[in-house]
Amino acid sequence: MKIITGFVIALVLSSYTFCQDASIRKLQAESARTIKKDIADTSKKNWKAGGSYQISAGQGSLSNWAAGGDDFSLSVSTSLNLLSFFKKEKTSWDNLLNINFGYIKTTSLGSRKNDDRIDFVSRYGYALNKTLNLTTLTNFRSQLLKGYSYTETSKGYFRKNFASAFLSPAYVLISQGLDYKPGKNLSVFISPFTARWVIVKDDSLSARGDYGVTPGQHSSSQLGAFATINYSRVLQ
């Protein structure tokens, strides 16, 4: 009985060793195998897009308050920046959208916004040569929420006066001209033909003739020339 038991144990150990050797050889074969890489994607994308979002907040308080400071202050600011670029052969189309908003509250001034901007720029170009493009530029600017001006009363309080709102005002500009790009960082745009519209949608602001519109009218237009110089560089 002891001999048979010993034989069974030896057989089991031999089987285990054989299986273990087979597993090792399989792993060695797998590790030695050459992996065939996929063919690289050589297609060129015509559209490129991206963006960024930022938000910041600050709070301050003073003890033993003295003139020149507030015993409490709170500020919040946020910005959203989106971009998309199209490039195909001689045609290019660049789009930028910037939205900024800021809010502040202090003991002396109360609550009010300190920044409110919508700015959209679209530039469509056709390359005449390596540095010169025939370009159409469109720009839209307005704001999100109602805005107020503040006048101080004789009692030291501030009175709110309604001053602006979404599309009141709004500025629309369309320019046709030439865009000179001698390098990646510099762009000089000159337009001898530019149209500009001022929009005041709110009836009360329109009735007062704010922002240059004729009282009672909701828009005004102007013709003229336009030029911009843009230089950008990434600092490392």
- Rounded-to-integer distance, Cα 143 and Cα 55, Å: 18
- Asked if 211 and 201 count as a contact pair (C-beta separation under 8 A), the reply is no
What are the backbone angles phi and psi of residue 93, rounded to the nearest 5°? -145, 115
Tally of domains within the chain: 1
User: DSSP string spanning 153-179?
Assistant: -TTS-EEEEEEEBTTBSEEEEEEEEEE
DSSP 206: H
- 49, 96 in Cβ contact below 8 A? no
Q: Which residue has the tokens 């540095």?
A: 131
Arithmetic mean of pLDDT, 213-232: 92
Residue 227 lies in a domain: yes
Q: Which domain holds residue 92?
A: 84-98+119-146+160-231
CB contact at 8 A, 75 and 101? no
Nearest to 75 by CA among 112, 130, 23, 31: 112
Give me the pLDDT at residue 200, please. 97
- 213 within some domain: yes
Task: Report pLDDT for 116.
Answer: 97
Q: How far apart are CA 126 and CA 71, in angstroms?
A: 57
Q: Report yes or no on 130 lying in a domain.
A: yes
95-147 pLDDT, tens digit per residue, is: 999 999 999 998 877 889 999 999 999 999 999 999 999 999 999 999 999 99
Say if 194 falls within a structural domain. Answer: yes
Q: Tell me if 64 is assigned to some domain.
A: no
pLDDT-above-90 percentage for the chain: 60
Average of per-residue pLDDT across 14-27: 45
Domain contains 62: no
Residue at 187 is within a domain: yes
Please check the confidence at residue 30 and state whether its pLDDT lies above 70: no
- Residue 157's pLDDT is 75
Whether 83 shows a pLDDT value over 60: the answer reads yes
Write down the H helix ranges in 108-231.
Answer: 203-208
Question: Tens digit of pLDDT for each residue in 160-195?
Answer: 899 999 999 999 999 999 999 898 889 899 999 999
Q: Where residue 12 falls among pLDDT bands split at 50, 70, 90?
A: very low
Q: How far is CA 167 from CA 118, 143, 148, 196, 236, in A?
A: 10, 7, 15, 15, 40
97: alpha, beta or left? (left if phi > 0; alpha if psi -120 to 50): beta
Indicate whether 6 belongs to any domain.
no
What pLDDT score was predicted for residue 8?
Answer: 39
Question: Residue 9: is its pLDDT beyond 70?
Answer: no
